[in-house]
Chain A
C-alpha cells in the first residue's frame, strides 16, 4: 500500500528565507506521481507542484521546487524567498499512474512565516 510521511507537524521560517518541507513516500509501483498542495486557513486546496516518477529533472514552479530523491523515496518541497502569504498547511500526496487517481495524502506541515 502507498504511504506518505510528513514528519514536521509545524515549522517556522523568517520572511525572505528559504524553507524545506520534508516528505517521504512508500510504494512498490514504479510509476507514480508526487504532488504538493497548500491549504491556507480559508480551507481551499491549492495545487503547487507535480513530479512524475520517471522525470529526470526536479520540478519547479516559480518559488516552489521539488527536491526528488528517488532512491531515498523523498520528495521535499523547497520554498524560496518566503512570504507572509506562504503561512499555511502544506500537504504532500501521491498517486499511481493509470490508477483510479486516488491521491494519498500525508498529515501535513503547518508553516508559519515570521516577519
Chain B
C-alpha cells in the first residue's frame, strides 16, 4: 500500500529538549516536504526536499532542521523546541505523473511543547 508514515503521532515535550519527527514514504518519490497547521494560520510549508541531499527552506523554517540522506526518509528535527512550535505537523510526498501533480500527506504529528 502506497503511504506516507510519520512517528510519533503524538508528542508532549518540554522546552529545549531536542526531538525528531520521522517521515517515510514507500512510493519512491523524489520530492518531500514538511508543513505545520495552526488555527487561523492554516498550513504552511517548513522545508522541502527535491531529492536526496537537496533541501531548502519553505515559508516558516526558523527553529527547524531537516535532512535527506535517502530517498524514502525525511526527518524533521527541532533542536531546541519552544512553545510556539506547538502545532500539528504533516509530512508530504509529491508525485509527478504526466500532467498530474499529487501531494500525499502523512497522518500528522501533534506536538505540544510545554
Residues of A within 8 A of B (CB): 33, 35, 37, 43-47, 50, 52, 54-55, 91, 93, 95, 97, 100-103, 105-108
Contacts and interface: CB of A to CB of B under 8 A. Distances in A.
B65 interface: no
Interface of B: 31, 33, 35, 42-43, 45, 48, 50, 56, 58-59, 88, 90, 92, 94, 99-108, 110
Contacts of A35: 102-103
A91 B48 CA distance: 21
B6 to A, nearest CB: 10
A101 B105 contact: no
Main secondary structure of the interface of B (DSSP, over half): strand
Main secondary structure of the interface of A (DSSP, over half): loop
B101 A52 contact: yes
A47 B104 contact: yes
B43 A103 contact: yes
Given A45-B108, A101-B31, A33 B43 contact: no
